A and B are shown apart, each in its own frame.
Chain A
Amino acid sequence: DTGVSQNPRHKITKRGQNVTFRCDPISEHNRLYWYRQTLGQGPEFLTYFQNEAQLEKSRLLSDRFSAERPKGSFSTLEIQRTEQGDSAMYLCASSPGGGPRGETQYFGPGTRLLVL
């Protein structure tokens, strides 16, 4: 296992279309995070899963956003009716949990979304 993977790496879509991103965490990592990063800013937390349970959602995650992690493995982030303001880099991270070192998050390469 070489780390967290995300697909696609780049996505260009027209306003109003739906898009879905996938994140495959490091195997046996039970914690999974999604972050969003806009140009010139640091990443901002979107949502968190422990195994298959979504335990926290940021107020940044509007009703148009939904995330799932079926069976506690990979996760998907869907954006419905995309808006130009959704253009950003979407980052996924995972951690094994269980103690201080276990909370270190390992980040994927990100999915860059451009909404035209």
Chain B
Amino acid sequence: KQEVTQIPAALSVPEGENLVLNCSFTDSAIYNLQWFRQDPGKGLTSLLLIQSSQREQTSGRLNASLDKSSGRSTLYIAASQPGDSATYLCAVTLTSGTYKYIFGTGTRLKVLA
């Protein structure tokens, strides 16, 4: 059974700091991995999608890497800003016919001004 774990569960950093969020999964047979942002009480905003054949994706100050063999992904946020404060979720897609997402429990990030 695929399990997704995110560490740390919560993180508080001063503005301007670079930071790394971690995601690990137990079964390397994934179709893709996606990072989401969720603001309190809101839905999910997709940040980056990494296909299983890719090693990393970049968008602005965000960079996500994927190491399928070790079951790990990291989300790197450069020069953090208070507006980055949110919960960050990673999800893997199984290689089954439904392509449903298996989510981690998230990392709650607070960037202090």
Are A91's CB and B100's CB within 8 A? Answer: no
Interface of chain B: mostly helix, strand, loop or mixed? strand
The range of chain B's interface size is 20 to 34
Are A41's CB and B105's CB within 8 A? Answer: yes
Given contacts A104-B46, A106-B46, is CB(A42)–CB(B99) below 8 Å? no
Are A100's CB and B31's CB within 8 A? Answer: yes
Tally of chain A residues near chain B (CB < 8 A): 25
Are A107's CB and B98's CB within 8 A? Answer: no
Residues on A with beta carbons closer than 8 Å to the beta carbon of B71: none
Given contacts A91-B44, A103-B32, A106-B46, is CB(A42)–CB(B100) below 8 Å? no
Are A110's CB and B43's CB within 8 A? Answer: yes
> A48 contacts the other chain (Cβ, under 8 Å)?
yes
Closest to B6 in A: A42
Are A100's CB and B32's CB within 8 A? Answer: yes
**B24 → A minimal CB distance (Å):** 14
Given contacts A91-B43, A107-B44, A110-B43, is CB(A43)–CB(B101) below 8 Å? yes
Given contacts A56-B98, A100-B51, is CB(A107)–CB(B43) below 8 Å? yes
**A103, B93: Cα distance in complex, Å:** 9
Chain B contacts to A: CB under 8 angstroms: 4, 31-32, 34, 36, 41-44, 46, 49, 51, 89, 91, 93, 97-106
Chain A contacts to B: CB under 8 angstroms: 31, 33, 35, 40-45, 48, 55-56, 91, 93, 95, 100, 103-110, 112
**8 interchain residue pairs of minimum CB distance:** A42-B103, A109-B43, A107-B44, A103-B99, A45-B100, A48-B98, A110-B43, A56-B98
